[in-house]
A and B are shown apart, each in its own frame.
Chain A
Amino acid sequence: MPEIRERSGRTLFEDTVNILHFLEADRAAPYAKRQHRDRQIGQGACENILDQPLKTVQCWWQQISADRPGEHNEGNKLIRVRGLVGLAAVVFGLLSGLGVIAAVFQYDGSHPINVVTLIAVFVILQSVFIGTSLLMLLPGQNFLSRALASLNVGAMISGIMHRTLLKSSSSSVFFMGTSDHTQAHNLLLRWQLFSWSQLLGCAFNTGALLGAVLLIVFTDLAFGWSSTLMFETVQFQKLIYLVSLPWAGIWPDASPTQALIEQSRFYRLGAEQATPFIAQSLTAWWPFVVACILSYGLLPRVVLLSISRVFVQRALATLLMDNPQVISLLDRMRTPEVALGSPVLISPEMLLDEEPHAKPNSISGSVPLIIWADAAERFQLLSRLEKDSSVQVSQAYKAGGACSMAEDMETITTLLEKRSDSILIAVKSWEPPLNDMLDFIALLRQKCGDKTQIILFPLGPDLSVADQQEVRIWRHASKRLSDAQLFVEPDL
Chain B
Amino acid sequence: MNSTPRFAITGHPNKGKSSIVATLAEDETVGISEIPGTTRDAHSYPMCMDGETLYELIDTPGFQRAREMLEWLKNSETSVADRRASLNRFIQEFANDPRFHDECELLKPIMKGAGILYVVDGARPYGSEYESEMQILQWTGQPRMALINLIGGEEHVSEWRRALDQYFSIVRVFDAQHADFKKRIDLLRAFQALDESWFASLDLAIGVLEENRAQRLHRAAREIAELLLAVMCKRESAQLDDENIDLQLQSSLVSKLKDNIREREEQCCDVLQQICGHTKLERNIERNQLLQEDIFSERSFSLFGLSNTQLAITGAASGAVAGGGLDMMVGGASLFLGAGIGAVVGGVSAIFAARQISDVEVLGSPIGGYELHVGPVSDVNFPWVVLGRVVLFYRLVSERNHALRDAIAVSSESANSFSESMNMKQRQVLSDLFKQIREHQLIDSKGMVSLVRQIENLCK
Contact B233 A181 (CB under 8 A): yes
Residues of B within 8 A of A (CB): 12-14, 18, 25-27, 29-38, 43-51, 62-68, 71, 99, 102, 124-125, 127-129, 131, 208-209, 212, 215, 219, 222-223, 225-226, 229-230, 233-237, 239, 267, 271, 274-275, 277, 279, 365, 367-369, 371, 440-445, 448
Contact B31 A346 (CB under 8 A): yes
The contact of A159 among B35, B124, B235, B365, by CB within 8 Å, is: B365
Min CB gap A40→B, angstroms? 9
Contacts of B229 in A (CB 8 A): 324
Contacts of A328 in B (CB 8 A): 219, 222-223
The contact of B44 among A31, A338, A342, A401, by CB within 8 Å, is: A342
Contact B29 A430 (CB under 8 A): no
**A183–B439 Cα gap in the complex (Å)?**
12
The contact of A341 among B18, B29, B33, B102, by CB within 8 Å, is: B29
Contacts of B442 in A (CB 8 A): 181-183, 185-186
By beta carbon, the residue of chain B nearest A332 is: B219
Contact A348 B37 (CB under 8 A): no
Contact B129 A431 (CB under 8 A): yes
Contact A39 B50 (CB under 8 A): yes
Min CB gap B229→A, angstroms? 8
Contacts of B37 in A (CB 8 A): 432, 434-435, 477
**A331–B226 Cα gap in the complex (Å)?**
15
Contact A335 B237 (CB under 8 A): no
Contacts of B274 in A (CB 8 A): 30-32
Known pairs A331-B219, A342-B30, A434-B64; A336 contacts B127 (CB<8 A) = no
Write the A146-160 contact mask toward B (1 if CB under 8 angstroms, else 0).
Answer: 000010000010011
Known: A183-B442, A185-B442, A469-B34. 18 other contacts (CB 8 A): A31-B274, A160-B367, A163-B367, A179-B234, A180-B230, A324-B225, A337-B50, A339-B48, A341-B30, A342-B43, A402-B131, A404-B67, A430-B124, A431-B127, A432-B36, A436-B65, A436-B129, A476-B35
**A328–B27 Cα gap in the complex (Å)?**
24
Contact A163 B29 (CB under 8 A): no
Contact B279 A346 (CB under 8 A): no
Contacts of A477 in B (CB 8 A): 35-37
Known pairs A340-B45, A428-B127; A43 contacts B50 (CB<8 A) = yes
- In the A-B complex, the 6 residue pairs with the closest CB atoms: A341-B27, A432-B36, A31-B274, A348-B31, A348-B33, A346-B31
Contacts of A31 in B (CB 8 A): 271, 274-275
Contact B27 A340 (CB under 8 A): yes
A461 within 8 A of B: yes
Min CB gap B394→A, angstroms? 14
Contacts of A178 in B (CB 8 A): 235, 237, 371
A-B contact pairs, 29 of them (CB 8 A): A30-B279, A31-B275, A163-B367, A179-B234, A182-B443, A324-B222, A324-B225, A324-B229, A328-B222, A336-B49, A337-B49, A338-B48, A339-B46, A340-B25, A341-B277, A342-B25, A342-B27, A346-B43, A348-B31, A373-B129, A402-B128, A428-B127, A431-B124, A432-B14, A434-B13, A434-B62, A435-B65, A473-B34, A473-B36
Known pairs A342-B29, A436-B66; A400 contacts B48 (CB<8 A) = no
Min CB gap B234→A, angstroms? 7
Contacts of A461 in B (CB 8 A): 124-125
Contacts of B235 in A (CB 8 A): 178-179
Q: How many residue pairs between the two chains, A and B, have CB atoms under 8 Å in the bound complex? A: 186
A482 within 8 A of B: no
Contact B441 A439 (CB under 8 A): no
Min CB gap A165→B, angstroms? 12
Min CB gap A168→B, angstroms? 15
By beta carbon, the residue of chain B nearest A28 is: B267
Contact A336 B50 (CB under 8 A): yes
Contacts of A344 in B (CB 8 A): 43
The contact of B30 among A156, A346, A428, by CB within 8 Å, is: A346
Known pairs A39-B50, A324-B222, A435-B65; A338 contacts B125 (CB<8 A) = no
Contacts of B267 in A (CB 8 A): 27-28
Min CB gap B217→A, angstroms? 13
The contact of A181 among B12, B46, B441, B444, by CB within 8 Å, is: B441
By beta carbon, the residue of chain B nearest A406 is: B71
Contact B127 A374 (CB under 8 A): yes
Contacts of B49 in A (CB 8 A): 336-339
Contact B222 A432 (CB under 8 A): no
Contact B26 A340 (CB under 8 A): yes
Contact A341 B45 (CB under 8 A): yes
Contacts of A405 in B (CB 8 A): 67-68, 71
The contact of B45 among A179, A335, A342, A432, by CB within 8 Å, is: A342
Contacts of B441 in A (CB 8 A): 181
Interface size of A by Cβ–Cβ distance < 8 Å?
Answer: 64
Contacts of B124 in A (CB 8 A): 430-431, 461
Residue among A327, A346, A347 having the largest count of chain B Cβ atoms under 10 Å: A346
**A322–B448 Cα gap in the complex (Å)?**
10
Known pairs A340-B277, A342-B25, A432-B37; A159 contacts B368 (CB<8 A) = yes
By beta carbon, the residue of chain A nearest B233 is: A180
**A92–B45 Cα gap in the complex (Å)?**
67
Known pairs A346-B29, A401-B129, A473-B34; A183 contacts B443 (CB<8 A) = yes
**A43–B48 Cα gap in the complex (Å)?**
15
**A394–B423 Cα gap in the complex (Å)?**
74
By beta carbon, the residue of chain B nearest A435 is: B64
Min CB gap B15→A, angstroms? 8
**A430–B16 Cα gap in the complex (Å)?**
13
Contact A183 B13 (CB under 8 A): no
Contacts of B26 in A (CB 8 A): 340-341
Write the A301-332 contact mask toward B (1 if CB under 8 angstroms, else 0).
Answer: 00000000000000000000010110110010
Min CB gap B166→A, angstroms? 15
By beta carbon, the residue of chain B nearest A344 is: B43
Min CB gap A257→B, angstroms? 47
**A188–B447 Cα gap in the complex (Å)?**
20
Known pairs A336-B208, A351-B35, A434-B13; A179 contacts B29 (CB<8 A) = no
Contacts of A338 in B (CB 8 A): 47-49, 208-209, 212
A433 within 8 A of B: yes
A349 within 8 A of B: yes
**A461–B275 Cα gap in the complex (Å)?**
42
A21 within 8 A of B: no
Write the A376-401 contact mask toward B (1 if CB under 8 angstroms, else 0).
Answer: 00000000000000000000000011
A residues 417-474 in Cβ contact with B at 8 Å: 428, 430-436, 439, 461, 469, 473
**A431–B219 Cα gap in the complex (Å)?**
44
Contacts of B445 in A (CB 8 A): 322
By beta carbon, the residue of chain B nearest A341 is: B27
Min CB gap B212→A, angstroms? 4
**A28–B271 Cα gap in the complex (Å)?**
9
Min CB gap B444→A, angstroms? 6
The contact of B234 among A180, A182, A439, by CB within 8 Å, is: A180
Residue among A28, A183, A186, A439 having the largest count of chain B Cβ atoms under 10 Å: A183
By beta carbon, the residue of chain B nearest A318 is: B445
